[in-house]
Amino acid sequence: MLGVMDLQALLDDLAAEAAPFAAHGKVADYIPALAAVDPAHFGIALATMDGQLYGSGDWQTPFSIQSVSKAFSLALVLARDGESLWRRVGREPSGSAFNSLVQLEYEKGIPRNPFINAGALILIDRLLSLSGDSLGTLRTFLRAESGNANVDVDPEVAASEASHGHRNAALAHFMASCGNLGNPVETVLDHYFRQCSLTLSCGDLAKAGLFLANHGLRADGSRLLTRSEAKRINSVMLTCGTYDAAGDFAYRVGLPGKSGVGGGILAVLPERGILCVWSPALDPKGNSVAGVEALDRFTTRTGWSIF
Ligand code: GLU
């Protein structure tokens, strides 16, 4: 078992070693507000089950969490709705781009999994029906778990997403035409764009995700998910959480993870904690180049993968 000092020193080493890999990637440019982010940022944080928080680099800087948010919305829907969700969305890796239209049409408006954009729109639609306010429910949860009452939407990013959101609108309209959307398309899209624009730091995110490493128990000891539901979310993260590079991510990192095009990745170390990295330069599949590099090195050095 690594000691406290070792963990901090390890994160410092990983920050120094992995950050230069950002030079091999490119920031997401299809959302103008994300294209403006400095690709040189690198942050890494580890929240452990015993309440410790370690961080290095820009680990306290808030960034646009984008699709990392989808792991949390899946948890909030499963917690309220259980298995019935899977009638409306699958749980197989997509093998296609996260915003593919053609796959959705072939599959008659049932998204391949909850983490591609179409699947995330289903999560929001369901959470809207269950709670009346999908974004508000998620934001309240993230604030409580991270202990940061300032967690919020970046309105500039949300506006940028909305004005360049034609593809997401197409996905939502197509699902509505198939009868797989319960709320108005505009409402679902509004909550989706704002959800993707939530900003948290690596430290906030690592704390907020701890329930995934703790068999579904929240920070206050209450139960969000059954043990089995927490297992299932981690399983879907392992197989579908990192776009159509989930196989490569599993091969290199050996942990369930969820990435976003803002350059964040949340990785689950079952019964140990949550490791979060952020570096905005992405590989062609949409995963942070330096982030995956750091996670690969972390599990290689510690042996803390699930395998
Ligand atoms: N807001 C982004 C989109 O809709 C999220 C993509 C992502 O992080 O995977 O394209």
Domain residue extents for the chain: 4-302
Residue 271 CB contacts under 8 Å (≥ 6 apart), including other chains: 49, 213, 214, 215
What is the distance between the alpha carbons of residues 207 and 203, in angstroms, rounded to a whole number?
A: 6
- 260 pocket-lining for ligand 1 (C-beta < 6 Å): yes
- 279 pocket-lining for ligand 1 (C-beta < 6 Å): no
Q: Is 67 a catalytic residue?
A: yes
Amino acid letter, residue 175 = M
- 117 pocket-lining for ligand 1 (C-beta < 6 Å): yes
**Element housing 53 (H / E):** strand 53-57
- 115 pocket-lining for ligand 1 (C-beta < 6 Å): no
**Element housing 57 (H / E):** strand 53-57
What is the distance between the alpha carbons of residues 133 and 118, in angstroms, rounded to a whole number?
A: 19
What's the pLDDT at 95? Answer: 86
Residue 125 CB contacts under 8 Å (≥ 6 apart), including other chains: 181, 182, 183, 188
CATH entry 3.40.710.10 includes domain 4-302: yes
Q: Is 70 a catalytic residue?
A: yes
- 161 pocket-lining for ligand 1 (C-beta < 6 Å): yes
Q: Is 188 a catalytic residue?
A: no
- 168 pocket-lining for ligand 1 (C-beta < 6 Å): yes
Q: Is 192 a catalytic residue?
A: yes
* Residue 120 alpha carbon to ligand 1 centre in Å: 10
Atom of ligand 1 nearest to the CA of 260: 8
What's the pLDDT at 5? Answer: 54
What is the distance between the alpha carbons of residues 6 and 298, in angstroms, rounded to a whole number?
A: 12
Q: Is 243 a catalytic residue?
A: yes
Residues of the chain where predicted confidence (pLDDT) is lower than 70 = 1-5
CA-to-CA dists, residue 261 to 41, 127, 169, 175, 282, angstroms:
14, 23, 18, 23, 7
Candidate list 70, 100, 185, 268, residue with the active-site label: 70
What's the pLDDT at 231? Answer: 98
Count of CB atoms situated within 10 Å of the CB of 91:
17
The pick from 31, 68, 205 for probing ligand 1's pocket by mutation, whose C-beta has the most ligand atoms within 8 angstroms, reads 31
What is the distance between the alpha carbons of residues 93 and 110, in angstroms, rounded to a whole number?
A: 13
Tokens of 148: 């940061």
Give the residue among 128, 67, 123, 65 at the shortest CA–CA distance from 90. Answer: 123
